[in-house]
Structure 1
Amino acid sequence: MNRFSRMPFFVQLMLVSGGTMLIPALYALVLRDWNDARAFFYAATLFTSLAGFIAIARFRPEATEDRDSRFDRDREGRNQLLTLLGAYTALPLILAVPFSEATRDTTFFNAYFEMVSALTTTGATLFDDPARLSKPVHLWTAIVGWMGGFFAWITAVAVLAPMNLGGFEVISSRQAGQSEIRASQIARVAAAPERMARFTAKLFPVYFGLTLALWFALAMVGSPAYVALCHAMSVMATSGISPVGGLTNAGTGFVGELLVFAFLFLALSRKTFTADQPRLDAPPLWRDPEMKIGLSLIVVIPILLFLRHWVGVLEVAGDWTFTRALSSLWGSTFMVLSFLTTAGFESMGWEEARLWSGLQAPGVLLMGLTIFGGGVATTAGGVKLIRLYALVRHGEREIEKLISPHSVGGAGANARRIRREGAYVAWVYFMVFAFTIAAVMMILSLFGLHFEAAAVFTISALTTTGPLVNVVGDVPLSYAQLGDPEKLILAATMVLGRLEMLAIIALLNPEFWRR
């Protein structure tokens, strides 16, 4: 374990990726699908061997590492962000090899796009018909999405948090990109690969155990074991990947959606699975800022949609019963949480919810929820709820000052910091996010996409919510209809959405490249 943690980080990713390829290879053997079994087994052998050779060539004794550790720490932040950028752009080239070999009626570029989408937990697919892909390939896509979710989870805690990025700049007194002076012993002493290994050993049992629990629960309520496993991994990673086209075709009904709904709460706040400073007198979870604003959206929006039936709709066709009305309420509640966490799963009651509320453009609501996003240091994408919370508190304080100019805000130093410096950096991020949407939309428009389609594809990729294109309008959109330039632009946008723009801006900072 010690030698593994001392390997270059990208070599560790190659070893893990190559070893994971054996899982779909074994599953293909069980199904007697020899072509898929060979594709995954050969790729696993190739990349694990290559990673082993590189690890041997790069191996250095501990004495040499101690001598070079001071110089390495000087460029630690730059190396970490460059490694993350390389992982999301170069690692899919490796992951796409067995996908391309097993799926022979597609190009390697399409396979690369699928792997970028899965690794960034976007869940956008070029194969609208799930039957085009074999079961081992579907399993591999779900596994890559699951690993991508855990990778985002770990890097947020082990890399972005010490550098005050990824949403942590809102709740911290330091500037974005500035390293923590009073960091923990692990953050101050350990190199990035070793720190990642230690956080992985700490959090992987939680992630793996929750996935097993959801898999077992979905299988118990009627879903086939293979489909239940894929959906369990997709829910934990909020990737929205499904081998059967979504939860509506899984055969689990309302109980299955209720289970998924419960596990999606993990993506609303990082404190659902960890805590910054665990202590006995810690406040309850429902008092966490991210959880409070997330619950507010989950409660308020479905109620408003339900009441709109009497306020904004004069007549709705069909025989509406009390059961169908409750189904529409549940459908809107599930969709709010699903798209707020950027998972993108569709509820069976969503169509009834649209008819009941008389929504003419439900895509605007869903796109707004995906832009809000989930919690910091979770698998969700989007702007993140903590930034939205900072802007809300700042707005409340400004209104109070208009009413009582000499009032004192109070609520402690942390609340004052969120209302002031936190709201400032949150607003900066919102502006950068908006300008990124505008820039990507303009680039896509140059290739012939209409305004509506460009907006939907851009927000879907930047918020890592691939299934958004299927439910945003009356006519579903498809990534398969795009040309290679548009796919490449959207793949880069997915990486931007997963890394977040502040990390890219910090990487472009000249101070980052000075010793």
Structure 2
Amino acid sequence: MIARLLTFPLILILAGIAAGAMLIPATHALVQRDHSVAQAFAYSSVLGMTVVFLVGLALSGRPRSDNSDLENLGSLMLALTGLPLFLALPFYEGLETTSYLNAYFEMVSSLTTTGAPIFTEPGRLTDSLHLWRGIVGWFGGLLMWIAAAAVLAPLNLGGFEVTASAEPGQGGGQMERFERASSAKRLAQVTLRLAPLYAGLTAALWLMLMIGGDRPLVAIMHAMSTMATSGISPIGGVQNAQSGFAGEAVVFLFMLFALSRLTFSSDTVTVARPGLHNDPEFRLGAALVLGVPLLIFARHWVGAFDVDETENLAMAGAALWGGMFTVLSFLSTTGFESASWDEARGWSGLGTPGLILMGLSMVGGGVATTAGGVKLLRVYALYLNGQREMERLVHPSSVGRAGAGSRRIRRRGAFVAWIFFMLFALSLALVTLTLAGLGQDFEQSIILSIAMLSTTGPLVSVAGEAPINLLVLSEPIKLVLCAAMVVGRLETLAIIALLNPSLWRR
């Protein structure tokens, strides 16, 4: 049964799962006696299941071969652009006070784990609608966990091109075990291995946050947002939660899963030596999480000395913790702020350190995690290449150390990483120019571009002098931002791989 189901297009399977997931907020709204929202989700679920069943019935009579990796990549692209049209239907019908484009924007933002806050007014959304945003974001995070191992890794995309010997968008290389199994079987194996782990970690964080004092809806929303790095919150962020410092500490620990895939799985190992302590991504991420707050803390300490606050150890500790939590949050492209962040900024006189937060978001988290951005592995490859070039400036005839894997990363891996950096910069320039042409000033254009391409939506609220109100933007700007979110989630190299003639040959 499962084998037959997996022969259908991936987009059809995802649509069926989305239709079934709509019953969760429908049940929640029914318990809350919000009958209009319950009807919107229930009717949309029935409609979606009916359409999926009819399309599946129409396709079942045709002989169908196994989906190729490029076809699954095309389905993933279609899911990020077309599936939100369906996901937005109950949201639009349940809210009743917004346009369908705003609902579509919200669903694209959630599914790509961007979490751009378009509805910021308190009480604008009911609890059931907030829950649907969180579920879609959580589902988008799980989709990227699975797609990384089952779709992107066999094609040497999504960061795996740095360590692979094959060309990006082509099969082969070091993933021999993927070549032995069909695409459908690989999807099933990866899903059965990762989905229970993803759900279990989310449930564990949910329980811890409830023990810390958060009400169940807030706890499950923050748990799903942390695991998916979406930053979606029904109360404006963890800084407004009742769990306080204990809740932030637990969320901090779970955000570490976004620094490296080795924190939760070894199915797509990108290093020769096993162990988290040997993973360059985790070590580089940990260095940033510790180093950047210490630099900010030094500035804090100088500011505190000027105003004779050096003996206030509690304020110093709060400033250091606020820096560490916020740095990890934006490095993982989650976008949560610590409750101590405002206090730390006011003490140091930094104001709004938007450039620091945007830089961290652009670096991003680990390969094959839910984090966006450029990815730590690409940054590490360029670091190795730069280090080797500096050695050659001092000793031109020297021979590079380390093994074949490190040499490949320094040479070909750094070359591919540099190509991705250039593509990311071109995408950033294109989106910025487009937004500027549509009437946005430069500061807002650059903030919006980085926020969407790095899938760190909360940047629009904290990176500038004043928050950017996404709701009042024009319709063309919202469509451009939707396209930027999809490009940032799927990455430019993957979109270029979709232009491969073999995908369209049949």
- Work out whether the TM-score is over 0.5: yes
Q: CA 1:446/1:314 → structure 2, altered by over 3 Å: closer, same or farther?
A: farther
Shift of 1:505: 1.4
Q: What are the Cα deviations for residues 238-283 of structure 1, in whole angstroms up to 9, with x where unaligned? A: 00000111111111111100000000000000111111478xx953
Shift of 1:198: 2.3
Select which of 159, 164, 172 maps to 1:172: 164
Q: Is the 8 A contact 1:325 1:356 kept in 2?
A: no
Q: Is the 8 A contact 2:352 2:462 kept in 1?
A: no
Aligned to 2:32: 31
Aligned to 1:221: 212
Aligned to 2:261: 270
Aligned to 1:435: 426
Aligned to 1:465: 456
Q: CA 1:437/1:204 → structure 2, altered by over 3 Å: closer, same or farther?
A: same
Q: CA RMSD in A?
A: 1.9
Q: CA 1:493/1:37 → structure 2, altered by over 3 Å: closer, same or farther?
A: same
Greater mean deviation of Cα atoms: 349-358 or 20-29: 349-358
| Aligned equivalents of 2:352, 2:305: Cα separation in 1 | 17
Q: Is the 8 A contact 1:248 1:346 kept in 2?
A: yes
Shift of 1:60: 4.3
Q: CA 1:495/1:316 → structure 2, altered by over 3 Å: closer, same or farther?
A: farther
Q: What's the secondary structure of 2:78's corresponding residue?
A: helix
TM-score, normalised by the number of residues in structure 2 = 0.95
Q: CA 1:361/1:227 → structure 2, altered by over 3 Å: closer, same or farther?
A: closer
Aligned to 1:43: 44
Unaligned ranges ≥5, structure 2: none
Q: What's the secondary structure of 1:169's corresponding residue?
A: helix
| Aligned equivalents of 1:419, 1:173: Cα separation in 2 | 13
Shift of 1:406: 2.0
The 5 Å alignment of 1:335-350 reads 335-350=326-341
Aligned to 1:403: 394
Aligned to 2:148: 156
Select which of 358, 361, 375 maps to 1:370: 361
| Aligned equivalents of 1:249, 1:264: Cα separation in 2 | 18
Aligned to 2:129: 137
Q: CA 1:456/1:317 → structure 2, altered by over 3 Å: closer, same or farther?
A: farther
Shift of 1:313: 7.6
| Aligned equivalents of 1:447, 1:197: Cα separation in 2 | 44
Shift of 1:511: 6.0
Q: Is the 8 A contact 2:163 2:409 kept in 1?
A: yes
Aligned to 1:59: 60
Amino acid at match of 2:105: F
| Aligned equivalents of 2:276, 2:102: Cα separation in 1 | 42
Greater mean deviation of Cα atoms: 318-327 or 438-447: 318-327
Select which of 100, 104, 113 maps to 1:108: 100
Q: What's the secondary structure of 1:132's corresponding residue?
A: coil
| Aligned equivalents of 2:89, 2:428: Cα separation in 1 | 31
Aligned to 1:382: 373
Q: Is the 8 A contact 2:149 2:267 kept in 1?
A: no
Q: Is the 8 A contact 2:26 2:38 kept in 1?
A: yes
| Aligned equivalents of 2:311, 2:471: Cα separation in 1 | 37
| Aligned equivalents of 2:112, 2:380: Cα separation in 1 | 25
Aligned to 1:295: 286
Q: Is the 8 A contact 2:302 2:348 kept in 1?
A: no
Q: CA 1:277/1:238 → structure 2, altered by over 3 Å: closer, same or farther?
A: closer
Greater mean deviation of Cα atoms: 468-477 or 450-459: 468-477
Q: Is the 8 A contact 1:167 1:386 kept in 2?
A: yes
| Aligned equivalents of 1:233, 1:444: Cα separation in 2 | 31
Greater mean deviation of Cα atoms: 335-344 or 179-188: 179-188
Q: Is the 8 A contact 1:307 1:357 kept in 2?
A: no
Q: What are the Cα deviations for residues 465-512 of structure 1, in whole angstroms up to 9, with x where unaligned? A: 011111113322221121111110000000000000001112224465
Identity of aligned residues (%): 50
Select which of 304, 310, 319 maps to 1:328: 319
Greater mean deviation of Cα atoms: 472-481 or 147-156: 472-481
Shift of 1:237: 0.2
| Aligned equivalents of 1:305, 1:98: Cα separation in 2 | 44
In the alignment of these two chains, the number of paired residues is: 503
| Aligned equivalents of 1:188, 1:130: Cα separation in 2 | 52
Amino acid at match of 1:115: M
Shift of 1:55: 1.1
| Aligned equivalents of 1:26, 1:440: Cα separation in 2 | 40
Unaligned ranges ≥5, structure 1: none
Q: What's the secondary structure of 1:2's corresponding residue?
A: helix
Aligned to 2:193: 202
